Amino acid sequence: MLANRSRDTKPEVALRRLLHARGLRYRVAFRPLPDRRRSVDIAFTRVRVAVMIDGCFWHGCLEHYRPPVRNASYWSQKVRRNVARDEETTGRLIAAGWQVLRFWEHEDPHTVADVVERTIRGTKALTRT
């Protein structure tokens, strides 16, 4: 468990490098909800866009999640709680005026960066008019 990272995972770092190379600036491990101890992986605070990269195991990816053989009931409950917390966090962020983008760790970082960039540039264009 100690080896599991909560931030700076390979998918996060790969995405951040691509976004930075495209001229986008962001906050890392930002807590947009002051009343909650929850952070988003990448935050564009000026346009209020939160980006989260969910790990397939920890967040129950339908494509890749395989429950462990040992202590299966504990882990299945843990993943269900994580999914419920993710849904609650997304709902709270939306209610607070944030746009939420969630991606799986197995998604191509270039494709994810394209979506994030289009969202950021589109949101910036909307706020200028």
Which CATH number fits the domain that encloses residue 82? 3.40.960.10
Does some domain include residue 64?
yes
| CA atoms within a 13 Å half-sphere pointing along the CA-CB vector of 70 | 0
Does some domain include residue 116?
yes
Does some domain include residue 5?
no
**pLDDT score of 4:** 62
Whether residue 100 has pLDDT greater than 90? yes
pTM, whole model, 2 decimals?
0.89
- Residues ≥6 apart with Cβ < 8 Å to 65: 56, 57, 79
Residue range(s) defining the domain that contains residue 55: 10-128
> What's the rounded Cα separation, in Å, for the pair 9 and 16?
11
Does some domain include residue 1?
no
**pLDDT score of 124:** 73
Does some domain include residue 18?
yes
Q: How many domains does the chain have?
A: 1
Q: What is the CB neighbour count within 10 angstroms for residue 64?
A: 12
12-16, 20-24, 33-37: least confidently modelled range: 33-37
38 pLDDT tier (thresholds 50, 70, 90): very high
**pLDDT score of 116:** 98
127 pLDDT tier (thresholds 50, 70, 90): low
